[in-house]
């Protein structure tokens, strides 16, 4: 799957807003606001459950990495996530 298609499908899921559980959250981290070298995927199965997290790293910008974006989409689909939340921007790694 190409990068454009993956990112558009993820964006579409994010725009739907809260639809219930299970929920996936995506947070991007990097050394600067211009380049996200890490993405942390959080999974919450039901309300009140503790989130499970998985981290993906990239040498370049993870938001433009086709492999990472395709993997994120597959994680969302396989978890049958009803809600996808994306933290806006890139949080700085200290």
**Cα distances (angstroms) measured from residue 59 to each of 21, 35, 39, 51, 92:** 32, 10, 12, 26, 16
Residue 48 neighbours by CB distance under 10 Å = 7
DSSP state of 62: G
Task: Identify whether the C-beta of residue 30 lies closer than 8 Å to the C-beta of residue 63.
Answer: no
Task: Name the residue range of residue 33's domain.
Answer: 3-92
| Structure confidence by residue, pLDDT tens digits, 5-28 | 999 999 999 999 999 999 999 999
The tally of domains found in the chain comes to 1
Rounded to whole angstroms, the Cα distance separating 73 from 79 reads 10
Q: Could you tell me the CATH number of the domain that includes residue 64?
A: 3.30.720
pLDDT of 9 reads 95
| Structure confidence by residue, pLDDT tens digits, 30-86 | 999 999 999 999 999 999 999 999 999 999 999 999 999 999 999 999 999 999 999
């Amino acid at each position: 799957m190409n990068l454009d298609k993956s990112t558009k499908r993820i964006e579409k899921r994010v725009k739907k807003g809260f639809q219930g559980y299970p929920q996936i959250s995506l947070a991007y981290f990097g050394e600067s606001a211009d380049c996200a070298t890490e993405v942390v995927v959080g999974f919450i199965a039901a309300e009140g459950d503790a989130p499970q997290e998985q981290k993906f790293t990239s040498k370049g910008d993870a938001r433009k990495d086709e492999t990472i974006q395709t993997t994120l989409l597959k994680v969302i689909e396989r978890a049958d996530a009803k809600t996808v939340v994306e933290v806006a921007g890139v949080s700085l790694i200290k």
